Amino acid sequence: MKTVFKIFLLLAVVGYLVFAVLKFGGEAEDRTCEGVRVEIIDSIPDGFITADYIRSLLTKNKISPQGMKISAINLEQIEQLMLEESHIENASCYYDAASRLCIKVIPQQPILHVISQKGEDYYLSSTGLTMPTASFNVDLCVATGNVTKKFAAEHLLELARFIHDDLFWSEQIEQIHVVSPDEIELYPRVGQHVIELGSEDGYKEKLNRLRLFYKEGLERVGWNKYKRISLAYDGQVVCTKSNSKK
Protein backbone atom coordinates (compact mmCIF):
# COMPACT_ATOMS: atom_id res chain seq x y z
CA MET A 1 0.00 0.00 0.00
CA LYS A 2 2.83 2.37 0.89
CA THR A 3 4.52 1.62 -2.43
CA VAL A 4 1.37 2.47 -4.38
CA PHE A 5 1.01 5.72 -2.44
CA LYS A 6 4.64 6.68 -3.17
CA ILE A 7 4.15 6.01 -6.87
CA PHE A 8 0.98 8.08 -6.89
CA LEU A 9 2.71 10.94 -5.08
CA LEU A 10 5.64 10.84 -7.49
CA LEU A 11 3.32 10.93 -10.50
CA ALA A 12 1.46 13.86 -8.97
CA VAL A 13 4.68 15.84 -8.47
CA VAL A 14 5.88 15.10 -12.01
CA GLY A 15 2.49 16.08 -13.38
CA TYR A 16 2.54 19.38 -11.51
CA LEU A 17 6.04 20.17 -12.74
CA VAL A 18 5.01 19.54 -16.35
CA PHE A 19 1.92 21.70 -15.82
CA ALA A 20 3.97 24.49 -14.23
CA VAL A 21 6.52 24.51 -17.04
CA LEU A 22 3.84 24.69 -19.70
CA LYS A 23 1.69 27.25 -17.91
CA PHE A 24 4.20 29.59 -16.28
CA GLY A 25 6.73 29.22 -19.06
CA GLY A 26 4.18 30.58 -21.46
CA GLU A 27 3.11 33.24 -18.97
CA ALA A 28 6.75 34.36 -18.61
CA GLU A 29 6.79 35.20 -22.30
CA ASP A 30 3.58 37.23 -21.88
CA ARG A 31 4.57 39.02 -18.68
CA THR A 32 5.26 42.74 -18.76
CA CYS A 33 8.17 44.42 -17.01
CA GLU A 34 6.85 46.03 -13.82
CA GLY A 35 9.82 48.33 -13.26
CA VAL A 36 13.59 48.64 -13.04
CA ARG A 37 15.64 47.90 -9.93
CA VAL A 38 19.32 48.93 -9.89
CA GLU A 39 21.85 47.39 -7.51
CA ILE A 40 25.30 48.98 -7.22
CA ILE A 41 27.97 46.75 -5.66
CA ASP A 42 30.37 49.49 -4.58
CA SER A 43 32.68 49.82 -1.59
CA ILE A 44 32.59 53.62 -1.92
CA PRO A 45 29.59 55.46 -0.43
CA ASP A 46 28.11 57.97 -2.90
CA GLY A 47 30.46 56.78 -5.64
CA PHE A 48 30.59 57.93 -9.25
CA ILE A 49 28.17 55.23 -10.44
CA THR A 50 24.69 55.65 -8.92
CA ALA A 51 21.27 54.15 -9.60
CA ASP A 52 20.16 57.44 -11.16
CA TYR A 53 23.20 57.35 -13.47
CA ILE A 54 22.31 53.82 -14.63
CA ARG A 55 18.72 54.87 -15.27
CA SER A 56 19.96 57.87 -17.24
CA LEU A 57 21.94 55.52 -19.50
CA LEU A 58 18.72 53.68 -20.33
CA THR A 59 16.89 56.95 -21.03
CA LYS A 60 19.78 58.28 -23.12
CA ASN A 61 19.67 55.16 -25.28
CA LYS A 62 15.86 55.25 -25.52
CA ILE A 63 15.37 52.03 -23.55
CA SER A 64 12.17 52.04 -21.46
CA PRO A 65 11.68 48.51 -20.08
CA GLN A 66 8.72 49.25 -17.81
CA GLY A 67 5.50 48.15 -19.44
CA MET A 68 7.25 46.23 -22.22
CA LYS A 69 6.77 42.52 -22.80
CA ILE A 70 9.62 40.69 -21.11
CA SER A 71 10.15 38.67 -24.28
CA ALA A 72 10.81 41.94 -26.16
CA ILE A 73 13.54 43.19 -23.82
CA ASN A 74 17.11 42.39 -24.89
CA LEU A 75 19.03 41.77 -21.67
CA GLU A 76 22.32 41.24 -23.49
CA GLN A 77 21.96 44.63 -25.16
CA ILE A 78 21.45 46.34 -21.79
CA GLU A 79 24.42 44.52 -20.26
CA GLN A 80 26.62 45.54 -23.19
CA LEU A 81 25.44 49.13 -22.82
CA MET A 82 26.57 49.10 -19.20
CA LEU A 83 29.94 47.53 -20.02
CA GLU A 84 30.66 50.20 -22.62
CA GLU A 85 30.91 52.70 -19.77
CA SER A 86 34.58 52.94 -18.76
CA HIS A 87 33.68 53.33 -15.08
CA ILE A 88 31.77 50.04 -14.94
CA GLU A 89 33.78 46.86 -14.44
CA ASN A 90 30.94 44.32 -14.66
CA ALA A 91 27.17 44.23 -15.15
CA SER A 92 24.39 41.63 -15.26
CA CYS A 93 20.63 41.75 -15.90
CA TYR A 94 17.82 39.45 -14.76
CA TYR A 95 14.18 39.51 -13.61
CA ASP A 96 13.02 39.15 -10.04
CA ALA A 97 9.85 37.47 -8.77
CA ALA A 98 7.96 40.74 -9.13
CA SER A 99 8.75 40.88 -12.87
CA ARG A 100 11.11 43.80 -12.40
CA LEU A 101 14.22 44.16 -14.52
CA CYS A 102 17.19 44.02 -12.16
CA ILE A 103 20.47 45.60 -13.25
CA LYS A 104 23.41 44.68 -11.06
CA VAL A 105 26.51 46.82 -11.59
CA ILE A 106 30.05 46.60 -10.22
CA PRO A 107 31.87 49.92 -10.76
CA GLN A 108 35.59 50.33 -11.27
CA GLN A 109 37.25 50.59 -7.85
CA PRO A 110 39.78 53.41 -7.33
CA ILE A 111 42.93 52.35 -5.48
CA LEU A 112 45.24 55.35 -5.90
CA HIS A 113 44.81 59.12 -5.95
CA VAL A 114 47.30 60.66 -8.38
CA ILE A 115 48.31 64.34 -8.14
CA SER A 116 51.19 64.89 -10.54
CA GLN A 117 53.61 67.80 -10.56
CA LYS A 118 52.04 68.85 -13.88
CA GLY A 119 48.69 69.41 -12.18
CA GLU A 120 46.90 66.19 -13.20
CA ASP A 121 44.46 65.04 -10.54
CA TYR A 122 42.63 61.72 -10.90
CA TYR A 123 41.96 58.31 -9.38
CA LEU A 124 43.56 55.17 -10.77
CA SER A 125 41.27 52.14 -10.74
CA SER A 126 42.27 48.56 -9.93
CA THR A 127 42.25 47.82 -13.66
CA GLY A 128 44.44 50.79 -14.58
CA LEU A 129 41.74 53.19 -15.79
CA THR A 130 41.66 56.85 -14.77
CA MET A 131 38.63 58.19 -12.94
CA PRO A 132 37.66 61.83 -12.20
CA THR A 133 38.06 63.08 -8.64
CA ALA A 134 35.41 65.78 -8.88
CA SER A 135 32.50 63.34 -8.60
CA PHE A 136 33.31 61.86 -5.19
CA ASN A 137 35.90 61.85 -2.43
CA VAL A 138 37.63 58.73 -1.14
CA ASP A 139 40.55 58.34 1.25
CA LEU A 140 43.32 56.62 -0.70
CA CYS A 141 47.07 56.49 -0.88
CA VAL A 142 48.28 59.53 -2.88
CA ALA A 143 50.89 59.42 -5.66
CA THR A 144 52.76 62.66 -6.30
CA GLY A 145 55.79 63.94 -8.17
CA ASN A 146 57.04 63.08 -11.64
CA VAL A 147 54.23 60.69 -12.51
CA THR A 148 52.48 60.57 -15.88
CA LYS A 149 49.29 58.60 -16.57
CA LYS A 150 51.32 56.04 -18.50
CA PHE A 151 53.84 55.64 -15.68
CA ALA A 152 51.06 55.32 -13.10
CA ALA A 153 49.28 52.60 -15.09
CA GLU A 154 52.43 50.67 -16.05
CA HIS A 155 54.64 51.09 -12.98
CA LEU A 156 52.55 52.09 -9.96
CA LEU A 157 49.42 50.01 -10.50
CA GLU A 158 50.70 46.73 -9.01
CA LEU A 159 52.36 48.55 -6.10
CA ALA A 160 49.22 50.58 -5.41
CA ARG A 161 47.03 47.48 -5.59
CA PHE A 162 49.31 45.65 -3.14
CA ILE A 163 49.22 48.56 -0.68
CA HIS A 164 45.45 48.98 -1.07
CA ASP A 165 44.66 45.28 -0.53
CA ASP A 166 47.04 44.70 2.38
CA LEU A 167 45.54 45.73 5.73
CA PHE A 168 48.89 46.66 7.28
CA TRP A 169 50.28 48.68 4.37
CA SER A 170 46.98 50.36 3.54
CA GLU A 171 47.00 51.80 7.06
CA GLN A 172 50.72 52.59 7.06
CA ILE A 173 51.56 54.07 3.64
CA GLU A 174 49.83 57.36 2.83
CA GLN A 175 51.92 58.67 -0.06
CA ILE A 176 53.99 57.44 -3.02
CA HIS A 177 56.34 60.11 -4.33
CA VAL A 178 57.99 59.61 -7.72
CA VAL A 179 61.32 61.44 -7.96
CA SER A 180 62.31 59.52 -11.11
CA PRO A 181 61.42 56.11 -12.60
CA ASP A 182 64.17 54.49 -10.52
CA GLU A 183 63.66 56.59 -7.41
CA ILE A 184 60.34 56.10 -5.65
CA GLU A 185 59.77 57.22 -2.08
CA LEU A 186 57.05 56.10 0.34
CA TYR A 187 55.76 58.24 3.19
CA PRO A 188 54.25 56.41 6.18
CA ARG A 189 51.55 57.55 8.57
CA VAL A 190 53.48 56.32 11.61
CA GLY A 191 57.04 57.55 12.03
CA GLN A 192 58.84 60.55 10.54
CA HIS A 193 61.09 58.60 8.18
CA VAL A 194 61.07 58.44 4.38
CA ILE A 195 61.15 55.00 2.75
CA GLU A 196 63.45 54.81 -0.27
CA LEU A 197 62.00 52.06 -2.44
CA GLY A 198 64.24 52.59 -5.47
CA SER A 199 62.29 51.36 -8.52
CA GLU A 200 59.06 49.40 -8.15
CA ASP A 201 60.87 46.20 -9.13
CA GLY A 202 60.69 43.61 -6.36
CA TYR A 203 58.39 45.80 -4.27
CA LYS A 204 56.83 42.82 -2.45
CA GLU A 205 60.19 41.51 -1.22
CA LYS A 206 61.27 45.04 -0.29
CA LEU A 207 58.14 45.74 1.74
CA ASN A 208 58.29 42.32 3.40
CA ARG A 209 61.86 43.16 4.39
CA LEU A 210 60.71 46.51 5.77
CA ARG A 211 57.84 44.93 7.67
CA LEU A 212 60.26 42.55 9.37
CA PHE A 213 62.54 45.49 10.21
CA TYR A 214 59.58 47.37 11.69
CA LYS A 215 58.77 44.41 13.91
CA GLU A 216 62.29 43.52 15.00
CA GLY A 217 63.93 46.95 14.84
CA LEU A 218 61.78 50.05 15.09
CA GLU A 219 59.45 48.65 17.75
CA ARG A 220 62.51 48.42 20.03
CA VAL A 221 64.41 51.61 19.17
CA GLY A 222 61.44 53.85 18.35
CA TRP A 223 59.67 54.90 15.15
CA ASN A 224 61.42 58.28 14.94
CA LYS A 225 65.04 57.11 15.33
CA TYR A 226 65.69 57.21 11.56
CA LYS A 227 64.90 59.85 8.98
CA ARG A 228 65.47 57.67 5.93
CA ILE A 229 65.15 53.91 5.40
CA SER A 230 66.45 52.57 2.09
CA LEU A 231 65.24 49.34 0.51
CA ALA A 232 67.00 49.97 -2.80
CA TYR A 233 69.80 47.50 -2.09
CA ASP A 234 69.16 43.76 -2.50
CA GLY A 235 68.51 42.02 0.81
CA GLN A 236 69.37 45.09 2.89
CA VAL A 237 67.70 47.77 4.97
CA VAL A 238 69.97 50.82 5.12
CA CYS A 239 69.03 53.50 7.66
CA THR A 240 70.07 57.11 8.21
CA LYS A 241 69.66 58.36 11.76
CA SER A 242 67.54 61.41 12.41
CA ASN A 243 70.37 63.25 14.15
CA SER A 244 73.02 62.46 11.50
CA LYS A 245 73.81 64.01 8.15
CA LYS A 246 72.52 62.25 5.09
Percent of the chain residues topping a pLDDT of 90: 65
**DSSP summary character for residue 127:** T
Task: Note whether 122 and 59 are within 8 A (CB).
Answer: no
Domains of the chain and CATH, by start: 36-107 (3.10.20.310), 110-241 (3.40.50.11690)
Per-residue pLDDT tens over the stretch 167-191: 999 999 999 999 999 999 999 998 8
Exposure on the CB side of residue 162, measured as CA atoms within 13 A: 14
Pairing relation of β-strands 101-107 and 88-95?
Answer: antiparallel
Cα distance between residue 17 and residue 111, in whole Å: 49
Per-residue pLDDT tens over the stretch 188-246: 998 889 999 999 999 999 999 999 999 887 877 777 888 999 999 888 999 998 875 44
**What is the model's pLDDT at position 135?**
66
Q: Give all strands (DSSP E) within the chain, no chain letters.
A: 36-40, 88-95, 101-107, 110-116, 121-125, 130-132, 142-145, 173-180, 183-188, 194-198, 226-230, 238-241
Q: Is 107 helix (H, G, I), strand (E, B) or coil?
A: strand
**What is the model's pLDDT at position 242?**
83
